[in-house]
């Protein structure tokens, strides 16, 4: 994999170039959302506490920011922060409900200073509700939505890393909400608060499964449904070398292709793939089949065909997969292997930019005010 030097933060080529966002340092979904926006060209200024920011934030999810220190318990720094927000298009904060208000940076005060600003609030439980002020993490937020209860083997639920809650139901919904509100502000001049709760987003991600349940096509028993490992043609299998493969032959034509390539076309047992009573026997038959060869041998036979098949890669292996290499899905930047920006844009490509340090809160606020004045003059407002 080629080494790609990170470009300066001032170099902005993505579709969000010219957008100014203030990020209050936090953990998890807020920083990841800010990374996505920075990858797409937004100028993101992160306000770190004196002495450091997020102890869990690796260099990857901190990329693309201008880092400045702000002591939000110091009235002078709060005043400078309000000055900075006057020149911003949006902010991201992930504190518990009421914290920003106590700091003197709540929506009422900030929107009075900058009525067009979009105020993004990222929490697990949301700004309201009986759990709003309770501590929690991804596993708790997805637990109440039905998502966690649907994932894992029959014996017990398994947390799907923190992808479903923090990043799927959190970061991605925050980015969508911010961009939608920014479009509205561009048309109306009126900003607003975006209350992004992980529990809301995770529930939204489950829309398809609630629809299936309403039609009687989903069981609350794990490993008994179409997409939860209950079907012998949609699950993972262990191979002779201990590695795994993923089979997803849902449609009959893809299932037939898998059978042809795997030498199972003449096995009458596999004709009964949708007969519930036959599933245990089919599971056992396919488990025995995949144990006859190592993973990479199965990949050479099945990957890239209409069998809907892929080898299960580890984090160490994935960046070297030929398909991901061909697409440039991963990049090595300053010695760190990391996902490249996604999605792709044909005219305004995203880019990985280096974090920028050494500037003060006041310097950034002054620079943004200068940009706002220039924009206003260009628009003929005379502001």
**Residue 98, both tokens:** 């009421």
166 as an active site residue: the answer is yes
Q: Does the N-terminal peptide bond of residue 343 adopt cis geometry, omega within 30 degrees of 0?
A: yes
SS3 assignment, position 52: strand
Helix spans in 223-321 (H): 252-262, 279-290, 295-302
CA distances from 255 to 261, 296, 308 (A): 10, 20, 8
Residue 353's DSSP bridge partners are 7
Q: How many CB atoms lie within 10 A of CB 8?
A: 9
d(CA 159, CA 149): 9
Q: Edge-to-edge strands of the sheet including 43-48?
A: 65-69, 43-48, 20-24, 90-93, 118-123, 192-197
Give the count of beta carbons closer than 10 Å to the beta carbon of residue 299: 19
Q: Write down the catalytic residue from 77, 166, 200, 228.
A: 166
Alpha helices in 192-278 (DSSP H): 198-205, 207-214, 252-262
In this structure, what DSSP letter does residue 163 have? Answer: I
Neighbour-count burial of 292, counting CB atoms closer than 10 A to its CB (0-12 exposed, 13-18 middle, 19+ buried): exposed
Backbone angles phi, psi at 330, to 5 degrees: -120, 155
Q: Which of 83, 137, 296, 369 is catalytic?
A: 137
With tokens 């499964």, the residue in question is: 209
With tokens 């993004």, the residue in question is 120
Q: Which residues are catalytic?
A: 137, 166
């Amino acid at each position: 994999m080629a080494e790609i030097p990170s470009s300066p933060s001032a170099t902005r080529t993505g579709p969000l170039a010219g957008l100014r966002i203030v990020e209050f340092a936090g953990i998890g979904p807020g920083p990841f959302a800010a990374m996505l926006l920075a990858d797409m060209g937004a100028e993101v200024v992160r306000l770190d506490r004196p002495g450091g920011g997020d102890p869990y934030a690796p260099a990857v999810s901190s990329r693309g920011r201008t880092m400045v220190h702000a002591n939000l318990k110091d009235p002078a720094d709060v005043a400078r922060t309000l000055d900075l927000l006057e020149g911003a298009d949006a902010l991201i904060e992930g504190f518990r409900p009421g914290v920003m208000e106590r700091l003197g940076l709540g929506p009422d005060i900030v929107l009075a200073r900058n009525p067009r600003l979009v105020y993004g609030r990222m929490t697990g439980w949301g700004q309201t509700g009986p759990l709003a002020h309770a501590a929690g993490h991804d596993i708790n937020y997805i637990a109440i939505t039905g998502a966690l209860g649907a994932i894992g083997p029959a014996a017990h639920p398994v947390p799907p890393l923190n992808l479903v809650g923090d990043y799927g139901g959190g970061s991605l919904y925050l980015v969508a909400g911010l961009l939608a509100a920014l479009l509205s502000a561009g048309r109306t001049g009126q900003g607003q608060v975006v209350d992004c709760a992980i529990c809301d987003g995770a529930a939204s991600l489950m829309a398809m499964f609630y629809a299936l349940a309403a039609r009687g096509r989903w069981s609350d028993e794990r490993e008994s449904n179409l997409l939860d490992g209950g079907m012998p043609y949609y699950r993972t299998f262990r191979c002779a070398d201990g590695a795994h493969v993923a089979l997803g032959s849902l449609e009959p034509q893809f299932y037939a292709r898998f059978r042809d390539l795997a030498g199972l076309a003449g096995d009458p047992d596999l004709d009964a793939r949708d007969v519930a009573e036959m599933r245990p026997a089919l599971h056992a038959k396919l488990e025995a089949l995949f144990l006859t060869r190592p993973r990479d041998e199965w990949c050479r036979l099945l990957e890239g065909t209409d069998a809907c098949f892929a080898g299960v890669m580890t984090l160490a292996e994935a960046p070297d997969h030929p398909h991901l290499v061909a697409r440039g899905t991963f990049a090595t930047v300053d010695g760190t292997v990391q996902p490249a920006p996604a999605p792709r844009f044909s005219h305004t490509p995203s880019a990985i930019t280096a974090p920028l340090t050494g500037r003060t809160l006041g310097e950034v606020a002054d620079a943004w005010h200068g940009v706002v004045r220039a924009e206003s003059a260009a628009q003929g407002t005379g502001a």
